[in-house]
Chains A and B, each alone.
Chain A
Amino acid sequence: MVLTQQRNIVTRTWGSSVGKKFVMAVTGVIFLLYVIAHMIGNLKIFFGRETFDAYSEHLRTLGADIFGYSGVLWIIRVVLIAAVVLHMVAAFSLWYKAKRARPVGYQHKGHQGSYAARTMRWGGVIIALFVIWHILDLTTGTVNPDPAGGAYGKLVASFDRPVVAIFYIVAMVALSFHISHGLWSGIQTLGGNSAVKQHALKSFSIGVGVVVAVGFAIIPVSVMIGLVR
């Protein structure tokens, strides 16, 4: 065989197209676990202002005796930022490789594959832009009408703007598509698919995508219809 596989595990992984997909699959799992935890936390909004604000404070005092105030939260943030960087760099690198692989396109365009699969890249870009807005709005409060209102106050003030609430819901639909293809694709990338399991894995991934989208989008909807004030 012609190839010499020397190098260490990092260059070995990053050096192949499938290795980059491994990185995307593993970082994707990190996001998905975070997103599900985030969604469950968010749903505490339905137990009232005190519970929600106490939860928000609890996230900061969690493990404070060891890591200091907000310590655990910052560890999670650093892991997520590292995962975002790796996920995006790998994605853009494969995007570039794909563009390069077909310099001349077809005159008659066919559409194969699911809508979710075909919109992974731009969907990912939309989600990234949404996350930037989301942090400025609800974490730092920079673009929030009530920056000093606490977690609950910021949330209600933000979703009282219908445009923001609708943008949030649209972003959750994009996230749902991204998860429906991403989760299945990740399992396939890590070698966990088989002809027998494929249909079940795809259905499961769509299910997870829908649950996540509904779990998040129910909150702006509740604010808009006055259920959460």
Chain B
Amino acid sequence: MRITLRVWRQKNADAKGKMEKYKLDDVEEDMSFLEMLDVLNEKLVLADEDPISFDHDCREGICGSCAMVINGTPHGPQKNTTTCQLHMRHFKDGDTIDVEPWRARAFPVIKDLVTDRSAFDQIIQAGGYVSVNTGSAPEAHATPVDKVSADDAFDAATCIGCGACVAACPNGSSMLFTSAKVTHLGLLPQGQPERQTRAISMLAKQDELDFGGCTNVGACAEVCPKGIPLASISRLNHDVLGATLTGARAD
């Protein structure tokens, strides 16, 4: 396959970046998108040019590192798929592909396609946990969890924190990410005592970090590689509404 790439190149956080064009003649359709970038980078290194920086780690769709917007869609055209699991067979010979970093004030570009996504860590630190003393695992029948809640909590827990929801959102909002964690913990008995304060604390942190507000457009759920449903946001809203009306306090 012959592929033309237009990739966002930016030397460092302060530099002004621009799209650079690269031509590849020997792309195999069985390559993953990242392997294709590896091939390009090898050529760039041999030509004494600066290789394209991009985040990657597990390359099996569970670490959430491989953040890039491909032709305007985070993680590219394949549904429920991270960039590393996207294969070149989903493109046509002669295609021009635009590759850009996540765009959000809260995710500043460090270099090329690499962004600083530690803002997500801060949201988790604000309440995405259950405060219990650890010890040996309790007897499994002591705290029953119904099947539906267990499944929904598990589905929400599959969020890999990649940030595609923020990248796709026209408002640059991280609501789907925050709501996935709120749903995950809020559906389980262990998460109940902190349920309302968790919602308001994580939301307040998200607002403070300059993520936008949600307008329920649904772009986040469209691009989410883990298929976190848009209705998770409704669950977050529900908990926030409860906390707002009752004046639940976190301190």
Considering the complex, give the chain A residue whose CB is closest to the CB of B248: A5
Q: Is the CB of B216 within 8 A of A117?
A: yes
Q: Is the CB of B170 within 8 A of A188?
A: no
CA distance A189 to B203 in the complex (A): 14
CA distance A44 to B5 in the complex (A): 62
**Cβ-neighbour of A4 out of B100, B173, B249 (below 8 A):** B249
Q: Is the CB of B103 within 8 A of A102?
A: yes
Among A76-130, those with CB < 8 Å from B are: 94, 97-98, 100-114, 117-118, 120
Q: Is the CB of A108 within 8 A of B100?
A: yes
CA distance A194 to B72 in the complex (A): 28
Q: Is the CB of A101 within 8 A of B233?
A: no
Is A142 interfacial (CB-CB < 8 Å)? no
Is B251 interfacial (CB-CB < 8 Å)? yes
Considering the complex, give the chain B residue whose CB is closest to the CB of A99: B212
Is B98 interfacial (CB-CB < 8 Å)? yes
Considering the complex, give the chain A residue whose CB is closest to the CB of B223: A112
Given contact pairs A17-B213, A117-B215, A188-B234, A108 touches B72 in the complex (Cβ within 8 A) = yes
Q: Is the CB of B244 within 8 A of A19?
A: yes
Given contact pairs A1-B250, A21-B213, A185-B216, A106 touches B72 in the complex (Cβ within 8 A) = yes
Is A135 interfacial (CB-CB < 8 Å)? no
Is B73 interfacial (CB-CB < 8 Å)? yes
Considering the complex, give the chain A residue whose CB is closest to the CB of B125: A2
**Cβ-neighbour of B100 out of A102, A106, A111, A117 (below 8 A):** A106
Is A13 interfacial (CB-CB < 8 Å)? yes
Is A20 interfacial (CB-CB < 8 Å)? yes
Interface bits B216-246 vs A (CB < 8 Å: 1, else 0) = 1111001100000111011111111101110
Given contact pairs A20-B213, A107-B100, A190-B237, A195 touches B71 in the complex (Cβ within 8 A) = no
**Cβ-neighbour of B251 out of A1, A12, A104, A106 (below 8 A):** A1
**Cβ-neighbour of B247 out of A5, A17, A97 (below 8 A):** A5
Is B171 interfacial (CB-CB < 8 Å)? yes
Query: Residue among B205, B234, B247 with the most chain A CB within 10 A?
Result: B234
Is B172 interfacial (CB-CB < 8 Å)? yes
Residues of A within 8 A of B6 (CB): 107
Chain A residues with a Cβ under 8 A of chain B: 1-6, 9, 12-13, 16-22, 94, 97-98, 100-114, 117-118, 120, 181, 184-185, 187-195, 197-198
Which 5 residue pairs of A and B lie closest in terms of their CB atoms, listed nearest first? A191-B238, A110-B72, A101-B172, A112-B219, A17-B213
